[in-house]
Structure 1
Amino acid sequence: MRFFITELLFFCAEKCFLNIIKQFTKIFSSHQKLVFSKELPVSSRGNIEIGQKLLKKANLFGYVLLDVKTDNPWRIFPFSEEVEVGIDGFSWLHDLAIINNRNSRDLSEAWINLFPLGRLNVNTYSSSSRLIAILMNFSYLKITCEKTTLNKLKTIIRNDYFFLNLYKSFSFNILEKLAIYHSLILSGYVFNFTKKKQKKMISSMTKLLLIYKAKAKMGEVRNPEELSEIFFYLLEIFEIAKILENDKPFIEVEKLRKLSGFFGSSIRYLQFGNGSLVSAHGGCLGNYNRYVKFLGEVTNYKRGDKICDLGFKRLDGARMSMIVDASPPLYGKRDRIAHASFSSFELYYGSKAIFVNCGGGSRFGHEYRKYCQSSKAHNVLLFNEKSQCSFGKRFFSKSTPYYYIKDGPRNTKINCINSITEKIVELSHDAYKKDYGISVHRRISVDLLKNRVMGQDMVNPDGEPREKLRDTAVCLYFHVHPSIVCRKKKSGVLIEIPGDKKMFFTHKGGDLTMEKSTYVGDFFEPQEITKLVIRNNVEKSESKISWKIEEIID
């Protein structure tokens, strides 16, 4: 009850404080005089595929294809923060601007005219996104927009800038502050503020980036997609800082260069051959096209200070690449997207995904987010089909309630072994010790010469077997990417990879079935996929499952 009351008080205080800032913004933003003087030295963010779908009357916002028919996006209920930012944050403007024809300009103007000014200052992320979208695409809008539309845009810009500039000093969320400072720095460049003022803002953001780096190194950041977004902020600020350095040395440029090397190397470590980030603890979209050119200039990742693995371990051998979740999740309400996925992995053959986790899920609403946070959405061993972790529900939040991890594995072990023929990782955890008195062990080896991966999963009773283990079972999950075709054979499963490559999956111990699952990775809609499930009775067997996936050579 005490925690509930504390949470309620913080929620009420936040709402009260936000309302005060909104009132100040309404009163004083009209007095702001902001003049467009420069074009931003950054590349377009638009997605041509999304832009084309929008022109075909598909409601696609926040990377979610919505099953709703309306010409007014603000009649849509934003069931997730991603959808809310996608609509209110004018993310669609980037996608229409990259099409840049008469139809796209007409639709952009129509939606701007439909935008209700009452939606201003609802969400800081929406305000930041909207401000940047207008600044980046204002020259595109000026081509055909009526004067009344342009005046409305200027009103929105003044409001968002004043609101964010006022709010930045009172936010305690580092992600929120980075988003705010990023948008304010881009605004300062466009409005041609004094170099002193722009440099001061960049220095403040550099300090925030250094704090974020320290948090990542201490294990307080687990979301690869979040890291990629921060990296993208950094690159845009870096371009502006280099321009400001032209006439006089600017010490922050070197700091930003080192930070970009750190974040860039870390992202490369967490990427597969097609540019996708490992899907765990928040998602896997990671817009590779935003920073592909810069990543080519980053030196190969190395261990030590030049990389932060976010708690993952990478195993590469022949053409196989595997990234394993090798750290326990972040517990408590501070982290709203932690996954119960210790020892889970994703496996790729070159640029082709084979086994994947089920994605972030949050953009499709809290029910999908809850599912994707559970162990069932990952390639792990479950005892009695129970998740590794227990979840709590936070009711007082900015939008919909979210689930966080209350408890889970506390005693985890990892051991990495390299030989001349293979790379091995051994992991164990005690997630089921409290209820069943067992520990779970996993051993995975990746062959360095052949396209082959072998694994062994088992449970060990601590001490003598207990009565609690009677009629219990283990389930081992392997979620197959939607592009893969699976066919069950007598001795295993034939896996056909796009590009006429074939692999064969075999196992020893338990019974294998092919079942339906859900994948919400880099698609606009949840995808129905196949999962391989191996079930084994604990009491009647050795509680050990061995498995292997190997390329078939014709």
Structure 2
Amino acid sequence: MAYRRRLSTLILGRFARNLKARVSAGSVAVSRLWPGRTDRLIIAPHDLRTADATRAAEIYAGRFVFAGKIVTCHGRSIFDYAPPSEDWEVALLGFGWLRHLRAADTAITRANARSLVDDWISNMSHNRPVGRRPDVLARRVISLLSQAPLVLSDTDGRFYRRYLRGLTREIRSLRYITPDIADGVPRLQVLIALCYASLCLANQARHIRATSRKLSDELARQILADGGHISRNPGALIELMIDLLPLRQTFAARNIAPPPALLNAIDRMMPMLRFFRHGDGSFALFNGMSSAPSDLLATLLAYDDTHGNPMASMPHTGYQRLDAGTMTVIVDTGPPPPPSVSDEAHAGCLSFEMSVAGCRVVVNCGIPATGRENWRSFARGTAAHSTVTYRETSSCQFVERTSMKRFLNGAPIVSGPARVEHYREVGAEGVMLNMSHDGYQSRFGVTHRRVLMVAADGSRLDGEHTVAPAPGARLKGSDTGYAVRFHLHPAVKASRLTDARGVMLVLPNREVWTFEALDDKVELEDSVFLAGNDGPRRTVQIVIRQDARHTASVRWSFVRSPSSPAATVARRSARNQAELPL
């Protein structure tokens, strides 16, 4: 019933968006013929994204490198070339690369920027479907506004007017396609772009109040009380903060008080940036999070006035953090997000990541920053997360039919854990987190319970998994196998010990840790780390397989070893010999 109810809600919502889009289609066509009046640019917002002046030389030479793909134009317009990938086209048509030309700040790069922008706004045949996507259009509007000083420097009045007409046409199109915007981050990005437009251009002041109100309402709905995003994707915070912080500055530059909802949202989101960070500065990989540039995170955190320690619990977004000594453990303790914003969500309930002394040890596989379609199905499954997989299935169910995914423009979650419980207890020996979820209960009759215990000095992490029927229920089916998975970061060197009950781990800082499961056999299997800056990387995972009908619980531990790798192996061998029966 829950599956059908969620699917019906998604279908009805898509029908409503399609209807609104058709009604507004005529208005979009009129907006292109009558773009409106604006005679000058008042202010250009600041772009916080990192710029690389060396990229300007590549663009001037006709080499456009985006999303791992290269297109070289030989005297032709770059907009006439068939894109090698959708990610490449999104980057090109978002015009964010203008910041690299501005970083070079030479007469040649300014002329190059004008030529490329003029090519775009003067030829409507360039306007391909990807370029009309609301999120791409919003990014292009923000880029053209923020990089206007580069494009309009040393130009004549004729080009200035043509630039403003083209920009105004884009803004009016963005206003009219609002009903067809997907929920979540794209909707906020469009409203942010419209707020920028109303603040930065003359004769747009009448839109400031209306767009500010819409943005405030959407921020109040999408940014939860603890500062997390409704999609539960940590990456959404970065995408939004990189635009919201300059927007706050733009309001101040116009001597207009920023909406209270904007200020409150930024104040709530900033602690969440610290919450998801590991010791090496990377973000935990949950619900669609990929690699995050360290320089971008450093830029955002420079705006944090509190500089406090990360909070321990984010109950509204559904995450817990355990810190002890040099150890950090971040755990997903929340149900799936609402279906309308679950296109990127993963089936990783009760999964965790662990880092020690700035080295990531246990991770989730994550998802690549580009080329996601090749990995999306695997990356969203429970098996790509450091948690329990029952009968090699995921704790969530996704829309699978190709026709339905095409209609919904994605594969949202239609069923998953409905009841996720967690209890945190702090004692003299450390912090214990007791959790459970019912994602497998309706299909297989089992509940997954997990207990994590972090020692007070951060020297060990103990855990226990229980896969058993709920009270009054029974196991369904003859296959009752489950697997406990721990995906390791590629920088960790893992070696299974001779007793097959443990794994020795050597971290990049040469610390030695031992994974132990004395009651169960441990396997090292292939895995893949998808969120690397250089693309997917091969790694390994620790796997413990059991049968819920015979062994309902599995206990394990990660323990820091005070000795070298060789001494650790010798110590365990001696202990195993001592335990042999006479």
Residues 1:171 and 1:52: Cα distance change in structure 2 (over 3 Å): closer
User: Aligned to 1:478, which of 480, 486, 511?
Assistant: 486
Count of residue pairs brought into register by the alignment: 541
Establish whether residue 130 from structure 1 lines up as the match of residue 130 from structure 2. Answer: no
User: Aligned to 1:288, which of 285, 291, 297?
Assistant: 297
Counterpart position of 1:320: 327
Bigger mean CA deviation after superposition, 478-487 or 361-370 = 361-370
Q: Deviations over 1:243-292 (max 9, x none)?
A: 334xxxx6546554433221212332222233333211121445413412
- Structure 1 residue matching 2:334: 3-state secondary structure: coil
Return the offset for 1:300: 4.9
Residues 1:58 and 1:310: Cα distance change in structure 2 (over 3 Å): farther
Establish whether residue 48 from structure 1 lines up as the match of residue 58 from structure 2. Answer: no
Q: Deviations over 1:501-544 (max 9, x none)?
A: 332222234332222222222525223222222222444x4233
Q: Mapping of 1:376-415 within 5 angstroms?
A: 376-393=383-400, 395=403, 401-415=409-423
Q: Distance in 2 between matches of 1:43 and 1:180?
A: 17
Return the offset for 1:382: 0.8
Residues 1:342 and 1:161: Cα distance change in structure 2 (over 3 Å): same
Establish whether residue 262 from structure 1 lines up as the match of residue 273 from structure 2. Answer: no
Give, as a single letter, the amino acid of the residue that structure 2 aligns with 1:213. I
Q: Distance in 2 between matches of 1:543 and 1:397?
A: 37
User: Aligned to 2:544, which of 507, 529, 534?
Assistant: 534
Counterpart position of 1:240: 250
Give, as a single letter, the amino acid of the residue that structure 2 aligns with 1:36. L
Establish whether residue 494 from structure 1 lines up as the match of residue 504 from structure 2. Answer: yes
Q: Mapping of 1:431-442 within 5 angstroms?
A: 431-442=439-450
User: Aligned to 2:428, which of 420, 430, 433?
Assistant: 420
Q: Distance in 2 between matches of 1:101 and 1:52?
A: 10
Question: For the Cα contact (< 8 Å) 2:212–2:259, is it kept in 1?
Answer: no
Residues 1:129 and 1:308: Cα distance change in structure 2 (over 3 Å): farther
Residues 1:181 and 1:384: Cα distance change in structure 2 (over 3 Å): closer
Give, as a single letter, the amino acid of the residue that structure 1 aligns with 2:460. R
Q: Distance in 2 between matches of 1:278 and 1:208?
A: 26
Identity of aligned residues (%): 17
Residues 1:367 and 1:487: Cα distance change in structure 2 (over 3 Å): same
Counterpart position of 1:371: 378
Return the offset for 1:314: 0.8
Give, as a single letter, the amino acid of the residue that structure 1 aligns with 2:554. I
Return the offset for 1:173: 3.8
Counterpart position of 1:90: 95
Question: For the Cα contact (< 8 Å) 1:135–1:190, is it kept in 2?
Answer: yes
Residues 1:78 and 1:388: Cα distance change in structure 2 (over 3 Å): farther
Residues 1:408 and 1:182: Cα distance change in structure 2 (over 3 Å): closer
Give, as a single letter, the amino acid of the residue that structure 1 aligns with 2:331. V
Return the offset for 1:298: 5.4
Return the offset for 1:402: 1.9
Q: Mapping of 1:295-310 within 5 angstroms?
A: 295-297=304-306, 300=309, 310=317
Residues 1:504 and 1:232: Cα distance change in structure 2 (over 3 Å): same
Q: Distance in 2 between matches of 1:20 and 1:431?
A: 45
Q: Deviations over 1:390-411 (max 9, x none)?
A: 2114746789942122212233
- Aligned CA RMSD, in angstroms, stands at 3.8
Q: Deviations over 1:68-126 (max 9, x none)?
A: 6553466455765x555322211222344335568866775675466463426611111
Q: Distance in 1 between matches of 2:407 and 2:249?
A: 34
User: Aligned to 1:330, which of 333, 337, 342?
Assistant: 337
Residues 1:313 and 1:165: Cα distance change in structure 2 (over 3 Å): same
Q: Mapping of 1:9-408 within 5 angstroms?
A: 9-10=15-16, 12-29=18-35, 31-40=36-45, 42-48=46-52, 51=55, 60-61=65-66, 64-66=67-69, 70-71=72-73, 72=78, 75-77=81-83, 83-100=88-105, 108=113, 112=117, 115=120, 117-118=124-125, 119=127, 122-142=132-152, 153-168=163-178, 173=183, 175-192=185-202, 198=208, 201-213=211-223, 220-245=230-255, 252=258, 256-286=262-292, 287-297=296-306, 300=309, 310-330=317-337, 332-361=339-368, 363-393=370-400, 395=403, 401-408=409-416
Counterpart position of 1:552: 561
User: Aligned to 1:507, which of 511, 517, 525?
Assistant: 517
Q: Distance in 1 between matches of 2:19 and 2:205?
A: 36
Residues 1:383 and 1:177: Cα distance change in structure 2 (over 3 Å): closer
Give, as a single letter, the amino acid of the residue that structure 2 aligns with 1:98. A
Counterpart position of 1:543: 552
Q: Distance in 1 between matches of 2:98 and 2:534?
A: 18
- Structure 2 residue matching 1:329: 3-state secondary structure: coil
Question: For the Cα contact (< 8 Å) 1:79–1:400, is it kept in 2?
Answer: no
Output the TM-score relative to the length of structure 2: 0.80
